[in-house]
Chains A and B, each alone.
Chain A
Amino acid sequence: AQSVSQHNHHVILSEAASLELGCNYSYGGTVNLFWYVQYPGQHLQLLLKYFSGDPLVKGIKGFEAEFIKSKFSFNLRKPSVQWSDTAEYFCAVNSGGSYIPTFGRGTSLIVHP
């Protein structure tokens, strides 16, 4: 069964700092990869997704993620975070043969103004 690991459970940054959140998955075949964000008191929403093509994916709000197949990774990055980026971030993966995503345990990001 596939699994998803998010190494950073809690991240605290100051505004304008750069962000990188790690995500690794265990499945060796074709995968679809996602990052979801959950702002305080709000629903989970999709930040970005990778299905195929350019492994560097641009998402909303200045986020991007890079799929590195050899490392089974899909790390999320943002060059300069804002206070409004304070949220929980979830990496999710589904293997090519399944439409059901498996989620990591999430990373809580706090950005101090």
Chain B
Amino acid sequence: ETGVTQTPRHLVMGMTNKKSLKCEQHLGHNAMYWYKQSAKKPLELMFVYNFKEQTENNSVPSRFSPECPNSSHLFLHLHTLQPEDSALYLCASSQGLGLAFFGQGTRLTVV
């Protein structure tokens, strides 16, 4: 248990579906991140929120839409995904200095 909780743990969705990934942290951290972990590729930073404000959008396609309603919750809304978007999506949080705590991830499969 890292203090960062992601739901669901597994998700299978069709290319026309709309779904959302949820991340929650109660560590008092001010920064939250979405990373994508694909096989044989480095962890890819997708979005960063600092004090609820989006500070990074790493050229992520618009079919991924983040939302940060407060400093404890982070969502990733998904719509019209492609099979190549299948990956492990990791949420992380930190209180400065890049010392990130990670959730267990959501294993997403797009069919």
Query: Which A residues lie at the B interface, using CB under 8 A?
Result: 4, 9, 32, 34, 36, 42-46, 49, 51, 90, 92, 94, 98-106
Cα–Cα distance between A34 and B33 once the two chains are bound (Å): 17
Q: Of B56, B96, B97, B105, which is within 8 A of A43 by CB?
A: B105
- Known A99-B98, A100-B48, A101-B98; judge A42-B104 contact (CB<8 A): yes
> A36 vs B94: C-alpha distance in the bound complex, in angstroms?
14
B104 pairs with A32, CB closer than 8 A: no
**30 A-B pairs whose Cβ atoms sit less than 8 Å apart in the complex:** A9-B40, A32-B99, A34-B98, A34-B99, A36-B102, A43-B2, A43-B104, A44-B92, A44-B102, A46-B101, A49-B99, A51-B97, A90-B43, A92-B98, A92-B100, A98-B98, A99-B31, A99-B94, A99-B96, A99-B97, A100-B45, A101-B98, A102-B45, A103-B35, A103-B43, A105-B40, A105-B41, A105-B42, A105-B43, A106-B42
Most chain A CB inside 10 Å of its own CB: which residue of B2, B4, B31, B50: B2
How many A-B Cβ pairs are below 8 Å? Answer: 56
A32-B98 in contact (CB<8A): yes
* CB-CB nearest 10 A-B residue pairs: A94-B98, A105-B42, A44-B102, A103-B43, A101-B98, A43-B104, A99-B96, A43-B102, A99-B98, A103-B42
> Count the B residues whose beta carbon is within 8 Å of the partner chain — how many?
26
Q: Which residue of B lies closest to A42 (CB)?
A: B104
